[in-house]
């Protein structure tokens, strides 16, 4: 009996000491930052109780407006520091010490494991390839929707992007555009919704979550996602084995449609590294394939979608894009060389401005690995830091109304002269308008040691698809941008898809 009492006393003393240390090292320093009051268990997440899915971003933006540019929130008992000034963001993003992803990304481990997105290490691979064939298939699908009616083309863009990443990076043709009811795409969207649901409910233990209907749905989604990637890997292995037996290889077929010499695909490199278990096992390969397929199609889909919606709302800019495309590719339906893609400079500025207003990844989360100082505040080690990409891109002190940019005075700013930077103007990215901009004021692909390794691939792919669509169709949006609800998940999506009317040009 004495031993039980002694153990109980030790446990209580240990808990009291840990709690005291937490209050001293974490709670008190962070409570000096502005922010809503914290309550036990729920933290500051109570601000989202009863808020509809479409209103979540508006609620959070109100908090940003109230506490900007630096404030703290509590996700349950987990403290979060919200940064939205480029000078503050640079402290974290430029550091090789603070590259570990935040705890929320742990929710992805059941799907992506320790792949490129979620890992803290340097497991980077890259591969260029072709997009023309898949874009042609997309145009064939869109041709059937030129009927004067409103259509949601978000699924079509998603399937095209998935086909491109699977064939160019994995060397496997999955034919996603030919399957209207794609279970893999549906599972991705469903998984993202569930993950966001979990983030807003930190008080629900994982064992209870697994027993809930939403937990069972996620389990089924994971099976679909993993089965899909396993099939991609097995199909590629079978093809490589067949090539070895026949003595032929698609890697020796010269150059692709862009004049780029064909090389081993990303998946081929992984399979090669896994031979005899030298570097990677089957689970490692699956994790990297899952990550590349998700990141390689979902982010590009989002940016293409937002760009089309913006162009559909700005016919004058759309006309200017069309004129540039026709001047570059002439009577062709699609750009077919890297040189042509480089010549589409105005389209590139349109894409950049779209990414400014609607960055595919609206925020990233890191963990501080050591104590840092931001302005007058001490930020302890092992604290979540939310880097607000969406917010910094809409800072009126960085992106004033383009017509007033030359008169801008950041010290004596008149809000009537410098309104919120909601105006869509690709000329913000002319060299003369970008020269004095802080390097961390525009970070759609992140920055520093963990910046996106696929940004050049993404830009080429987006230029190819957008140029092909605008070259063939005049597009008209059926809703103004301010009336389009936004879903904030890992990816920033238009809540109701891409609703457009298509009119054939050629």
Known binding-site residues for heme equal 452
Please work out, in degrees rounded to the nearest 5, the angle formed at the alpha carbon of residue 408 by the alpha carbons of 405 and 411.
155
Of the candidates 57, 34, 58, 59, the one whose C-alpha atom is nearest the C-alpha of residue 46 is: 59
Q: What is the residue whose two structure tokens read 């032929």?
A: 248
DSSP state of 24: I
Return the structure tokens found at 305.
Answer: 């979608």
CA distance 48 to 54: 11
Cβ of 443: how many Cβ atoms within 10 Å? 25
CA distance 501 to 313: 11
Return the structure tokens found at 42.
Answer: 């729920």
CA dihedral 371, 372, 373, 379 (to 10 degrees): -60
Instruction: Report phi then psi at 158, rounded to 5.
Output: -60, -50
SS3 375: coil
Cβ of 387: how many Cβ atoms within 10 Å? 24
CA torsion through residues 327, 501, 356, 107, sign: negative
Return the structure tokens found at 144.
Answer: 């059937």
Q: What is the residue whose two structure tokens read 């963001």?
A: 89
Q: Residues marked as binding?
A: 452
CA distance 378 to 372: 6
CA distance 362 to 491: 7
Cβ(309)–Cβ(424) below 8 Å: no
Q: Per DSSP, what are the bridge partners of residue 493?
A: 487
Q: Is 421 exposed, middle or buried (0-12, 13-18, 19+ CB in 10 A)?
A: buried
């Amino acid at each position: 009996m004495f031993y039980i009492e002694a153990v109980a006393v030790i446990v209580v003393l240990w808990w009291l000491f840990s709690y005291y240390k937490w209050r001293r090292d974490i709670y008190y320093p962070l409570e000096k930052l502005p922010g809503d009051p914290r309550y036990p268990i729920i933290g500051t997440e109570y601000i989202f109780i009863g808020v509809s899915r479409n209103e979540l971003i508006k609620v959070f933006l109100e908090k940003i407006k109230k506490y900007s540019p630096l404030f703290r929130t509590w996700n349950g008992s987990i403290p979060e520091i919200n940064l939205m000034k480029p000078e503050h963001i640079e402290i974290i993003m430029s550091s090789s010490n603070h590259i570990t992803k935040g705890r929320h990304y742990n929710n992805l481990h059941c799907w992506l494991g320790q792949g490129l997105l979620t890992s803290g290490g340097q497991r980077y691979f890259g591969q260029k390839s072709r997009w023309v064939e898949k874009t042609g298939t997309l145009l064939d699908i869109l041709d059937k929707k030129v009927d004067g009616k409103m259509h949601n083309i978000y699924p079509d863009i998603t399937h095209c992007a998935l086909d491109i990443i699977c064939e160019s990076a994995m060397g496997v043709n999955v034919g996603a555009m030919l399957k209207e009811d794609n279970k893999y795409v549906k599972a991705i969207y469903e998984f993202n919704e569930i993950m966001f649901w979990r983030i807003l409910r930190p008080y629900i233990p994982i064992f209870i979550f697994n027993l809930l209907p939403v937990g069972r749905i996620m389990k089924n989604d994971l099976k679909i996602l993993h089965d899909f990637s396993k099939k991609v890997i097995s199909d590629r292995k079978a093809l490589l084995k067949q090539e070895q037996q026949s003595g032929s290889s698609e890697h020796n077929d010269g150059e692709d449609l862009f004049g780029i010499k064909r090389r081993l695909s990303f998946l081929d490199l992984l399979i090669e590294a896994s031979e005899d278990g030298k570097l990677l096992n089957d689970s490692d390969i699956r994790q990297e394939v899952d990550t590349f397929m998700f990141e390689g199609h979902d982010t590009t889909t989002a940016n293409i979608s937002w760009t089309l919606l913006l162009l559909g709302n700005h016919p004058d800019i759309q006309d200017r894009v069309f004129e540039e495309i026709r001047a570059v590719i002439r009577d062709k339906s699609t750009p077919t060389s890297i040189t042509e893609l480089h010549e589409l400079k105005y389209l590139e500025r349109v894409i950049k401005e779209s990414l400014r207003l609607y960055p595919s990844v609206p925020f990233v989360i890191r963990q501080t690995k050591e104590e840092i100082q931001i302005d007058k505040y001490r930020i302890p080690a092992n604290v979540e830091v939310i880097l607000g990409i969406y917010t910094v891109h809409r800072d009126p002190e960085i992106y004033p109304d383009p017509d007033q940019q030359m008169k801008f005075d950041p010290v004596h700013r008149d809000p009537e002269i410098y309104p919120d930077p909601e105006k869509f103007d690709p000329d913000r990215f002319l060299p003369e308008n970008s020269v004095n901009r802080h390097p961390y004021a525009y970070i759609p692909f992140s920055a520093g040691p963990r910046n996106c390794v696929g940004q050049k691939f993404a830009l080429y792919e987006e230029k190819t698809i957008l140029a092909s669509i605008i070259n063939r169709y005049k597009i008209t949006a059926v809703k103004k941008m301010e009336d389009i609800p936004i879903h904030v998940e890992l990816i920033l999506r238009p809540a109701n898809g891409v609703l457009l009317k298509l009119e054939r040009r050629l």
